[in-house]
């Protein structure tokens, strides 16, 4: 099969690789689309992602496709099923798995991070990781199930109440998903801080009630004029400066969600007095425990507008361009098209 193989920092090569034999509990999927995630960019740049990456590896963990072959002990999934897969395969035996914290599993297998993933014509996964979806959902929409599942976990941890004011920092695909989920949770003032004008305009179409240009506007002054208190701040950039801003702009009793993935070496100063005087709840969100089926249901319900977030569809042969040309990173969601 054709696959994009990561050999180390800034070294991603499309080449032919063999398709290994299935184990009894595994399924072979022909990949239709696989999304490019910020984690993939971190891997390409040698930073690693949520889990330690050992080359050579086929990255890609946001995919959809069609089942082509099943192992001897596979019962729930059938050949021909339209599927998306949760890339995280937990051991079920460690302390965390047995105490409802499976995303901290000490022996987790990550498709696209620790084992070969979806930037290939075929991907192999355990049956338990796969979720079927109906013909009403397109393959390109279903490839968004993994990022939506991660956002659902993050939004759950924000504890948004009806009537809340929510500030989202960063108008990339994740920020736009978070904006819509916050609206669905009942937030009535939805603010996006984003320097790119086109993204601010899109946010207004997706439900934002206020947008701020952090380069040319005084963010704090705009917030003070618009709302008496920011209840939740969701940082979706993964930059130490915007993370520091998240704490700065949070209101009294607010929750600050660090959702963006920063470099492992990054740090910024935090004043405990600021946290104390505002009684802040500072949290983060790690992968997607127990939310994948919900993500499929949300996608099937059509309560999220995702088509506007996908700005580029790139063939597998040209995948390296996505990681080396900055115009792709300035755009929205990039999908790698593998098969018709």
Residues with catalytic function? 39, 42
Instruction: Copy the structure tokens of residue 4.
Output: 């994009």
Measure the CA–CA gap between 118 and 87, rounded to whole angstroms: 10
Which residue reads 């009684």 in tokens?
279
Main-chain dihedrals φ then ψ at residue 167, nearest 5 degrees: -105, 125
Q: Are 339 and 30 in contact (CB under 8 A)?
A: yes
Closest CA to 334 of 143, 145, 149: 143
Closest CA to 117 of 133, 129, 131, 105: 129
Q: Are 251 and 165 in contact (CB under 8 A)?
A: yes
Measure the CA–CA gap between 150 and 209, rounded to whole angstroms: 24
Q: Are 232 and 285 in contact (CB under 8 A)?
A: no
Which residues are 211's β-sheet partners? 192
Give the dihedral of Cα atoms 309, 82, 316, 263; nearest 10 deg. Answer: 60
């Amino acid at each position: 099969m054709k696959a994009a193989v990561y050999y180390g920092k800034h070294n991603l090569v499309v080449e032919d690789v063999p398709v290994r034999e299935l184990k009894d509990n595994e399924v072979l999927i022909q990949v239709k689309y696989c999304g490019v995630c910020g984690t993939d960019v971190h891997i390409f740049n040698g930073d690693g992602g949520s889990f330690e990456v050992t080359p050579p590896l086929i990255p890609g963990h946001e995919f959809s496709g069609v089942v082509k072959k099943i192992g001897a002990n596979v019962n729930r999934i059938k050949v021909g099923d339209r599927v998306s897969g949760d890339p995280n395969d937990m051991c079920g035996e460690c302390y965390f798995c047995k105490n409802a914290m499976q995303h901290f599993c000490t022996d987790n297998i990550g498709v696209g991070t620790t084992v070969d993933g979806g930037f290939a014509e075929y991907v192999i996964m355990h049956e338990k990781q796969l979720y079927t979806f109906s013909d009403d959902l397109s393959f390109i929409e279903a490839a968004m199930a993994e990022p939506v599942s991660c956002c659902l976990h993050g939004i759950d941890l924000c504890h948004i109440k009806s009537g809340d004011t929510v500030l989202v920092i960063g108008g990339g695909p994740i920020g736009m998903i978070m904006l819509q989920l916050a609206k669905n949770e009942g937030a009535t003032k939805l603010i996006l801080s984003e320097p790119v004008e086109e993204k601010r305009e899109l946010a207004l179409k997706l439900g934002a009630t206020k947008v701020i240009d952090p380069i040319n506007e005084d963010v704090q002054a705009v917030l003070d004029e618009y709302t008496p208190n920011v209840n939740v701040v969701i940082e979706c950039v993964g930059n130490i400066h915007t993370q520091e801003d998240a704490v700065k702009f949070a209101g009294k009793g607010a929750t600050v969600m660090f959702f963006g993935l920063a470099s492992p070496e990054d740090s910024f100063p935090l004043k405990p007095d600021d946290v104390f005087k505002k009684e802040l709840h500072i949290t983060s969100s790690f992968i997607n425990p127990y939310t994948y089926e919900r993500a499929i249901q949300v996608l099937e319900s059509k309560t999220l507008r995702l088509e506007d977030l996908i700005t580029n569809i790139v063939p597998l042969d040209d995948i390296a361009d996505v990681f080396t040309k900055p115009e792709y990173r300035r755009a929205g969601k990039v999908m790698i098209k593998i098969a018709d």
